[in-house]
Amino acid sequence: MAERYYQPEIETASREQIRQWQDERLVRQVRHVWDSVPYYRKKMEEKGLTPDDIQSAADLHKLPFLSKHDLREAYPYGLMGVPLKDCVRIHSTSGTTGKRVVAFYTQADIDLWEDCCARALTAAGATAEDVCQVSYGYGLFTGGAGLNGGSHKVGCLTVPISSGNTERQIMFIRDLNATILCCTPSYAAYLAETMKEMGLSPDQIPLKAGIFGAEAWSEEMRRDIEKTLGIKAYDIYGLTELSGPGVAFECSAQNGMHINEDHFLPEIIDPDTGEVLPDGEQGELVFTSLTKQAFPLLRYRTRDICVLSREKCSCGRTHVKMSKPRGRSDDMLIIRGVNVFPSQIETVLLNQGYSANYQIIVDRVNHSDTLDVQVEMTPEMFTDNVGEITRRQKELTDGLRSMLGIGAKVTLVAPKSIVRSEGKAVRVIDKRKI
């Protein structure tokens, strides 16, 4: 099947063309921010900068960073680039990592965001013939609104079902022949598990593709979901601070997400020193919003750890690709001095045949960190032989030790005892009081 694009002239533009857009838009955006966001202007002045110092994207590194801390300091209006009367909507983060962030949108901001989501849907194979079930939460969360808008732009019949009520989700998928599903990967896994329990085989499920984002997930989880639902599962990346889902999305190659570089200019930095790293090196992803008016963030530190690649992609898109983040640096746990990402634990579990229903409990006992991985027993992994189960449990403990570099305790728990999430899964419970 020939690759299809929502905006081919942008998505397959030459690198020179993209660079030219970025140069022009950055210069314009810095001027806009200088004129309308005193909070950022002060930061520039502290570094002795004026808009004249930014002549092209090559000067980007001179600008000061913005962090989540700045967003909290400037809450709620301090980073706005237009008067409130020009804004038409707000969205807010889910607050999983602390205080909520509130972001503002003009109509033009909403349009460009929905374009980005439409690119993602088209890359996943969506056309006007499709029925697109949007099972992300609607409301303040950007997931529902973003994919809903993108789905409209593509011309899909959009089912704005939001999250929750799993039985109704499955009923609509089957009765309306939904072909595209948009939700968090953990909810997709739960829907898949439920449909499997209902005895539905992949050919009885009309879905053909899914767009799953808003939380970290592993390749193994992708394979499980694809197999159970009989679909292609695509990752999508975004954050409320920049608009929402659609900042980057996966194409048919399924090996990284194309960043919509005409709107979001990426950099990779060393998270400790702030120094810009060359392409191909792993570091913290930083974004500069080139076109957003109401909430124009420059050099915003995402705390996501990933790698950028400019290798030519088989799909024909020319925009740079980012690897699946190893996890938001907020998700990263430091246990006994070692960096641990929940996604690493998930990889080991799924590789050894356990389910993606797990919970990581970190505690501190006698001044030493403990890591307890609770995983649900499955019919496939159960036998009446205690020795066999204990052996598998040890294999899992060994697998975790070699992946993480530190020891973990594995506890097998009863099925369904780990609470299922309809939005973002709660993977980590950190009981340490430091």
Partner 1 sequence: MSVKQISVFLENKPGALVEMTKVLAANDVDMRAFSLAETSDFGIARIIVDDLYKTTTVLKDAGFVHSVSSVLAVAIPDVPGGLSQVLAVMAQEGSNIEYMYAFLGGKAGSAYMIFKVAGHHKAAAALGAAGIRLVDQEELSEL
**Interface residue list for partner 1 (CB under 8 A):** 377-379, 382-387, 389-390, 411-417
Q: How far is the CB of 183 from partner 1 (least distance, A)?
A: 24
Q: How far is the CB of 418 from partner 1 (least distance, A)?
A: 12
Work out the burial of residue 30: count CB atoms within 10 Å of its CB; fewer than 13 is exposed, 13-18 middle, 19 or more buried: buried
Work out the burial of residue 253: count CB atoms within 10 Å of its CB; fewer than 13 is exposed, 13-18 middle, 19 or more buried: middle
Sheet (strand 264-269) strand order: 264-269, 283-289, 300-306
Number of Cβ atoms within 10 Å of the Cβ of 434: 5
Q: How far is the CB of 420 from partner 1 (least distance, A)?
A: 12
Q: How far is the CB of 407 from partner 1 (least distance, A)?
A: 15
Is the Cβ of residue 200 or residue 247 nearer to partner 1 in the bound state? 200
406 and 359 Cβ atoms separated by less than 8 Å: no
DSSP string, 59-72: GGGGSPPB-HHHHH
304 and 255 Cβ atoms separated by less than 8 Å: no
214 and 424 Cβ atoms separated by less than 8 Å: yes
Hunting for tokens 């857009």 — which residue is that? 21
Q: How far is the CB of 415 from partner 1 (least distance, A)?
A: 5
Hunting for tokens 């004249």 — which residue is that? 52
Is the Cβ of residue 37 or residue 418 nearer to partner 1 in the bound state? 418
Q: How far is the CB of 409 from partner 1 (least distance, A)?
A: 9
Q: Give the three-class secondary structure for 76.
A: coil
Is the Cβ of residue 214 or residue 410 nearer to partner 1 in the bound state? 410
Q: How far is the CB of 385 from partner 1 (least distance, A)?
A: 6
Q: Which amino acid is at 36?
A: S
Is the Cβ of residue 53 or residue 388 nearer to partner 1 in the bound state? 388
Q: Which residues of 103-139 are buried (b: 16+ CB within 10 A; e: fewer)?
A: bbbbeebbebbbbbbbbbbbbbbbeeebbbbbbbbbe
Is the Cβ of residue 77 or residue 382 nearer to partner 1 in the bound state? 382
Q: How far is the CB of 413 from partner 1 (least distance, A)?
A: 5
Q: How many CA atoms are closer than 13 Å to the CA of 301, on its beta-carbon side?
A: 23
